[in-house]
Structure 1
Amino acid sequence: MTFVLVPGAWHGAWAWHGVAQRIQARGQQAFPLTMPGLAPGEDSSNLRMEDAVSHIVKEIERRNLHDVVLVGHSWGGAPITAVAHRIPERVAKVIYYSAFVPQRGVSMNDENLPENAAYVRAAIEASPNGTVGLSFELFQQFFMQGVPEAAQRLAFDLLLPHPGGYMLDALDVDPVTTLGIPAAYVLAEQDLALARPGAEFAARIGVAPIMVPGTHESLLTHPEELAEALLGA
């Protein structure tokens, strides 16, 4: 199997390195990707969801990958859904990991409570380059709760502002299961960061969640368990 690992909002390929190394140690290929605008020094302005989708497609085609297992964490569930529709002949499976499973015409921001969605939209509009950040307090409380503060700080300091278009753009596609591509949902047991319960997102692709220990950032704190879950999904 060849795993293409797409990070969530504010994250880059670095978030997947521990999981990727464990997948590779089991004899499989793993390619963590960083989306446009989420590497230090890159211009994050005016990016749309299509930029992320096209980037993933180009990387898969550039490496001439086949039998790809697309894995998306959190926000990454949106672009991997579009990629599966774009190049279904190269995709063997889609795995959502504590992720947004998009519905046609509904953006990730639209899944939030109205007051939270309005806050995100206002932050994007107020930003000089159309991005949205994440405060350390929210990261502590909802993304990596219960983890020592030193580890929280280390992870938080690697985050970068997320292009607003990535949050606001909706997809015009149906679930990947309509393509005949197998899908799975892996969910962190203490995840508090999702806009809706993980089981509700999993039900959109007709599966029950495969549970792994940890918080929304369990790819950092429990890479061994997550790698095993992805390999067995």
Structure 2
Amino acid sequence: MNFVFVPGTNHGGWCWHPVGRRIRAAGHGVHALTLPGLAMGDDPSGLRLTDAIEYIVREVERRDLTDIVLVGHSFAGVPITGAAPRIARRLKHLAFFSAFIPRPGESMAAALGAETAAWMRATALETPAFTIDIDFETFRTRLMQDEPEQLQRLVFEQLTPQPAGYVLDALDDQPLTGLGVPVTYLLAERDIALAAPGTELAARLDVEPVIVPGTHEAMLTHPGDLADALLENVHA
């Protein structure tokens, strides 16, 4: 199998490397993508959700990947949902890890509430490239709470500003309906950063969540547990 990992907001493919190493050691192909605008030196100007979706599709086709397990973390639940129908014949499994499951017409920003969505848009408009950043206090208390501060700061320093269009745009429909690809929803047991309760998000896919240890950043703090959960549930 080929595991294709897609990161959430402000993250790059680097965040999946600890999990990916363990998946590769189990004998599978691993591809950790960094969405456009989220690598150091990228120009995030003008990027929209469609650009993220197109990139996933293009990379899968460029690498001619088949037998794919497509895995998305956090915000990446949105673009992998958009990309899945276009690469359906190549897919073996879809896996969402503490990920947002979009409802038709609902953006990631809107799911966080009208006030937060307005703040995101206003913040992005004040930046030259229409991006949204995260401050350390929010990161350490919401995404990586209770972990050692040295580790929190190390991860935080890897983050890059998020193209705002990725989280302000919405999918028009729910393209997973009738796709016929098995789906798993993995949920970090101490995740407090989700736009809705993880059980509710999993229910949108008609599945029960598979609980793994850790916070929203469990792919970095508990990579062995997450890798094991992926392998066990993909083979189920």
Say yes or no: TM over 0.5. Answer: yes
Deviation sequence 1:36-62 (CA, Å, 0-9, x none): 000001101100111111111111111
Q: Does 1:47 align with 2:47?
A: yes
Counterpart of 2:34 in structure 1 is 34
TM-score, normalised to structure 1's length? Answer: 0.98
Counterpart of 1:97 in structure 2 is 97
Runs of 4+ in structure 1 off by over 3 angstroms are: none
Counterpart of 1:6 in structure 2 is 6
What is the letter of the counterpart of residue 92 of structure 2? A
Counterpart of 1:225 in structure 2 is 225
Give the deviation of 1:146 after TM superposition: 0.3
What is the letter of the counterpart of residue 179 of structure 2? L
Aligned residues: 233
Deviation sequence 1:92-111 (CA, Å, 0-9, x none): 11111000011111111110
Counterpart of 2:108 in structure 1 is 108
Gap runs ≥5 in structure 1: none
* DSSP-derived class of the 1:55 partner: helix
Matches within 5 A, 1:150-161: 150-161=150-161
Cα distance between partner residues in 1 of 2:184 and 2:125: 35
Asked if 2 retains the 8 angstrom alpha-carbon contact of 1:2 and 1:29, the reply is: yes
What is the letter of the counterpart of residue 13 of structure 1? G
When structure 1 is superposed on structure 2, of 158-167 and 124-133 the one drifting more is: 124-133
Give the deviation of 1:175 after TM superposition: 4.7
User: Identity percentage over the alignment?
Assistant: 52
Gap runs ≥5 in structure 2: none
Asked if 2 retains the 8 angstrom alpha-carbon contact of 1:214 and 1:222, the reply is: yes
Asked if 1 retains the 8 angstrom alpha-carbon contact of 2:82 and 2:175, the reply is: no
When structure 1 is superposed on structure 2, of 154-163 and 45-54 the one drifting more is: 45-54
* DSSP-derived class of the 2:178 partner: helix
Asked if 2 retains the 8 angstrom alpha-carbon contact of 1:130 and 1:164, the reply is: yes
Cα distance between partner residues in 2 of 1:191 and 1:43: 31
Counterpart of 2:87 in structure 1 is 87
Asked if 2 retains the 8 angstrom alpha-carbon contact of 1:177 and 1:183, the reply is: no
Q: Does 1:173 align with 2:173?
A: yes
Q: CA RMSD in A?
A: 0.9
TM-score, normalised to structure 2's length? Answer: 0.97
Cα distance between partner residues in 2 of 1:59 and 1:219: 22
Asked if 1 retains the 8 angstrom alpha-carbon contact of 2:74 and 2:100, the reply is: yes
